[in-house]
Amino acid sequence: MFDGLRSAARESALRALWDVPRLLRHPVWRNADPGQGNGLGVVLVPGFGAGEASLSPAAAWLRARGYLPARSGVGFTVGCTADLLKKLLHSTEKHAERTGRPVVLLGQSRGGGLARMAAARRPDLVHGLVMLGSPVLDPLGAHPNVLRIARFLARLASAGIPGLLDDDCLRGPCFEENVKTLAEPLRVPAISIFSRLDGIVPWQLCQDPCAECVEVHSTHTGMGFDPQVYEVLGPRLAAWVTGTIRASSRTPSTMSSNPIVPCG
């Protein structure tokens, strides 16, 4: 599952940023069709502790191709799951109103789980769902270091510091309700991108039975900077724009590790 220090070393933010020049030189970044997105809205949902800026490369890539990216309003994604979901649903509704149609939700790690819950709750607002390294099969299955941070935040919340997840989010009724929502069938096309090199989230937990599961060779923190991720996203987003892929007609990718199980 995890290999201790080597897993942590792979997930250095500095190492992830080291990939930026490689991304900027890659054809998947340089060759942009500005009409591809046709104004389709995309709400970007960052991972635990990452902040909205962590998905800036994705926003720039999308914008150059005619999509309309927007922030999710969940900040550093360290708050109560129910509160974050409420904020995300609000942002999703506003962006759908702004663009005049349902939007794509693109979330990384915990942000992908939030995006999946939003898609399950309000499929009328969602055109498609992208999850990057998201442990949707077990939201508490991340690296022990991440869970230690989560428990520390819960202790701070118990001490009266607002805006943080609490014990209820980790093992109480809030947790149970959100796990139930996380397992609901999807009625929108979805893709879950995972990596066996992920040092934060075990790749097995990203195998959403309602999504096309596609493997890349990236670290967890580096997914937003990895050219292969954009090579995967490009044709799929384009197909969603034209309506050639729908929730009821998904087909497995040649890169996929498991077959698609019909949902919804």
Task: Kindly report the average pLDDT of the chain as a whole number.
Answer: 86
- Which pLDDT band, with edges at 50, 70 and 90, does 16 fall under? low
Scored b (16 or more CB within 10 A) or e, 32-52 reads beeebbeebbbbbbbbbbbeb
Average pLDDT of the segment spanning 96-124: 97
Please report the pLDDT score of residue 209 as a whole number: 97
- Which pLDDT band, with edges at 50, 70 and 90, does 58 fall under? very high
Angle of helix 110-121 versus helix 81-99 axis, rounded to 10: 60
Quote the strand ranges of the chain, DSSP E: 41-45, 68-71, 103-108, 126-132, 190-195, 212-216
Indicate if the pLDDT at residue 1 is higher than 60.
no
Closest residue by Cα to residue 207 from 247, 248, 257, 264: 257
**pTM for the whole thing?**
0.87
Q: Per this entry, what is the length of the chain? A: 264
